[in-house]
Amino acid sequence: MYSKNRIYINDANQQKIKKCRLLIAGAGLGSVISECALRLGFEHITIIDYDLVELSNLNRQNYVQHDVGKLKVEAIAKRLKSINPDATINYHSVCLGKSNLDQYVTDFDVAINTIDFTSDAPFLFDEFCLNQEKLVLHPFNLGWAGCVFTIDNSSKNLADITGISGGAEKAIVRFILSNTKNQNTEWLYQALNEFEQETAVSSPPQLAVASWITAGICTRIAFDYAVGNKILTLPEFYFLSLG
C-alpha cells in the first residue's frame, strides 16, 4: 500500500510509524488528520468524540451527506477501515472530562488535541497526557492557514497562551499573529477583527483548505516524533499560510 512513499520514507521509518499509536481527541478536524496519517502509514489510531455529523461540518470535515446524523467516530472509523482494513482503528463515543480521562486516554504515543474550547476539557486533556510524559499536538484551522502547537513537559503549555477562561480561540490567533514573521498575515488580522465584531455567539469560521494543511502538518510532526527527528515546541510553532 505504501510503495509510493519510497525515497521520502525508508523501510525502517515506515515500520516505526506503523507501530506508533495516535490518539485523536475530537473527530472534527481530527477526521481529516486521521485519514492523512493513515495514508502515510500510521496504522494504530484511536479517535474520541461524542458529536453527531451536522450538515455544516461538510465544508471542512471528512464526512459526506449520508453521514449527517451519525456518530462522527463511527463514520470516520468506517471510512478509515475502508482505506486500510488491516489498520487498528479504535473509537469511543464519549465526552471527555475529568471523570473519565484515565479510562479512555490510554495506550498511545502521540496525542492530538482537537477538542472544542467550550469547556475546560482541552486543558484537562493536556494535563493528563503531560502527566504521562506524552507529546500533545494542538492543530488549528485558520481559514487559509494551518497552525500546530506542540507541547511537552519542557515547553510552554496552552494555558500560558490562552488562560483558562473564555475566548481561547481569539487568544491563540493573537499569539500566532504576534509571533509569525515573513508571511502575509494581514488577511488573518482582518478575519480576527470581523469575528470579534460578530454579536451572535458562534464558533470561529473555518475552511477546508486549512483542515488539509493542518492535517499535513500534524502528520509530519507525528512522523518526525516517531522516527526521532527534532520537532518544534511552544513557544515555537508550525504555521503555513496560503493567504
C-alpha cell recorded at residue 70:
451519525
What pLDDT band is residue 199 in, cutting at 50, 70 and 90?
A: confident
| SS3 call for 93 | coil
Would you say residue 124 has pLDDT above 60?
yes
Would you say residue 201 has pLDDT above 80?
no
Q: According to the model, what pLDDT value does residue 166 have? A: 60
Strand locations in the chain (E): 21-25, 44-48, 88-92, 110-113, 135-141, 145-151, 238-241
Q: What is the pLDDT of the chain when averaged over all its residues?
A: 95
Would you say residue 200 has pLDDT above 80?
no
Class of domain 3-158+206-241: alpha beta
Give the residue-averaged pLDDT of 49-75: 98
Sorted by where each begins, the domain ranges of the chain are 3-158+206-241
DSSP notation for 145-178: EEEEEEE-TTS--HHHHH-SSS-HHHHHHHHHHH
48 secondary structure, DSSP code: E
What pLDDT band is residue 89 in, cutting at 50, 70 and 90?
A: very high
Q: According to the model, what pLDDT value does residue 163 have? A: 74
Q: According to the model, what pLDDT value does residue 139 have? A: 98
C-alpha cell recorded at residue 130:
503531560
Give the residue-averaged pLDDT of 45-68: 98
Distances (CA, A) of 19 to 13, 30, 34, 57, 187: 10, 19, 15, 31, 40
